[in-house]
Amino acid sequence: MLLKLTVLDQNLCAGCGACALVCPEQLISFDPDTVTPVLDLAGDQCEPCGECLAVCPGLQPDTDRAEQELFGRTRTAQERWLGINRVAIGARSTDAHIVRRSASGGTATTLLLTARAHLGVDLTLTMGRHAQQGWRSAAQVDGAEQAIINNAQSTYQLAPYLNALRECFEQTPQARIALVGLACHVQAIRKLQRRDTAIGRWAKSQIVCVIETACSSNTLPAGTRSIISDVLAQDPQQVTDIKYREGEYPGRLQVTLIDNQTLGIDFWEILGKLKDNKTFRCLSCGDWMSGLADVSVCDGDPNIFEASLNGSQEKKHGRALVRTDMGQLLVDRAIAHGRLETWAIDLSGFNLGLERKKNRRRFYETQDLVLPAGPGIGDLFDEMALVDDAELINPANYRSAQ
């Protein structure tokens, strides 16, 4: 099977769930801990259709082809890490409740709510919590406003996210869908929308709005589980909910137990735990943003690690890169209906999340390994790479002088 040979055996699975979404015979499930496909190849059920590999972003995200279709050109060297965009803005929800529930101002949440209320979107795909195991993340397809708000914060945990769309395809094929995802999710959706198959044509017509959040790298479920068991000394099975950026900016990880007790840990501390539980595909990924979403969003503060260590006077907000006609329409409608406040920003300067992504990619390019493809312009670095990025999140670099 080509997916196994070219992606799984090379440790290039992104855990996005797209392969299971498109499998005609539904032969692919996912190991909940490794978040990799489990292939049921018994008998002659698996036909060599190649759909799973065709939509997989693990080895080939197909960025150049998607950019040609979306923008009529590919990105320049100056656009390598942020992609092609029309405008970059600072943004924040005008709803105090959404700002409070969010990690960085509720920009992505507000755009999803705008799509639902003003652009005829019926369902949204967001990452929430597993119904039976609250410490795990799980995809949630819902039409309710409250579901979007409940899932306002990022979930720093891998799950086969896109597979949740299969039920929409089968049971509510006329529903218009908006989703928020990471670079790999967006790449897979764009690949799917090019497929001349029943599910590909459905995705092209019914997935009408795609928002992404920037990602330095994602984390296996074991990262969250180790924080709960090793740091907080709690049984993960007693957890009903987790928020990774709860409270005053930049937020703390907050764990809620069955008895409604809440426990927390500062955000800067969890990064060290999470970084020990990552996959090769996430660590070697060359995309902080895919550049293929309608709108891309990142935290407004360029160094939330330092803000978590020393406190911050920063007011929660995000940075949004508007890329497509739909993205512009979303932002315009959100502003017109008083849902979003925006202002001009300068994207130049240091950004810790992006620097971590660049450093990791730089390190892996020094190794003799098969890596996930970046945009066609390639990755050329002059600086020496650190081993992973432990030094970039060393507290000694950021602590205020006492």
11-27: pLDDT as tens digits = 999 999 999 999 998 99
Q: What confidence tens digit (pLDDT) does each residue in 282-300 have?
A: 999 999 999 999 999 999 9
Q: What confidence tens digit (pLDDT) does each residue in 218-248 have?
A: 999 999 999 999 999 999 999 999 999 999 8
Choose between 304 and 389: higher pLDDT: 304
Average confidence score pLDDT of the chain: 93
Asked if residue 385 has pLDDT above 80, the reply is: no
Asked if residue 402 has pLDDT above 60, the reply is: no
pLDDT for 1 equals: 72
3-state secondary structure the chain: CHHHHHHHCCCCCCCCCHHHHHCCCCCEEECCCCCCEEECCCCCCCCCCCHHHHHCCCCCCCHHHHHHHHHCCCCCHHHCCCCCCCEEEEEEECCHHHHHHCCCCCHHHHHHHHHHHHCCCCEEEEEEECCCCCCCEEEEEECCHHHHHHCCCCCCCCCCHHHHHHHHHHHCCCCCEEEEECHHHHHHHHHHHCCCCHHHHHHHHHEEEEEEECCCCCCCHHHHHHHHHHHCCCCHHHEEEEEEEECCCCCEEEEEECCCCEEEEEHHHHHHHHCCCCCHHHHHCCCCCCCCCCEEEEECCCCHHHHHHHCCCCCCCEEEEECCHHHHHHHHHHHHCCCEEEEECCCCCCCHHHHHHHHHHHHHHCCCCCCCCCCCCCCCCCCCCCCCCHHHHCHHHCCCCC
Q: What confidence tens digit (pLDDT) does each residue in 88-100 have?
A: 999 999 999 999 9
Average pLDDT value for residue range 73-77: 95
- Per-residue confidence at 44, pLDDT binned at 50, 70, 90? low
Percent pLDDT > 90 in the chain is 83
Asked if residue 217 has pLDDT above 70, the reply is: yes
Asked if residue 383 has pLDDT above 80, the reply is: no
- Per-residue confidence at 276, pLDDT binned at 50, 70, 90? confident
Average pLDDT value for residue range 338-346: 97
Percent pLDDT > 70 in the chain is 98
pLDDT for 401 equals: 53
Asked if residue 124 has pLDDT above 60, the reply is: yes
Average pLDDT value for residue range 133-145: 97
pLDDT for 41 equals: 61
Asked if residue 42 has pLDDT above 50, the reply is: no
pLDDT for 43 equals: 47
Asked if residue 177 has pLDDT above 90, the reply is: yes
pLDDT for 328 equals: 98
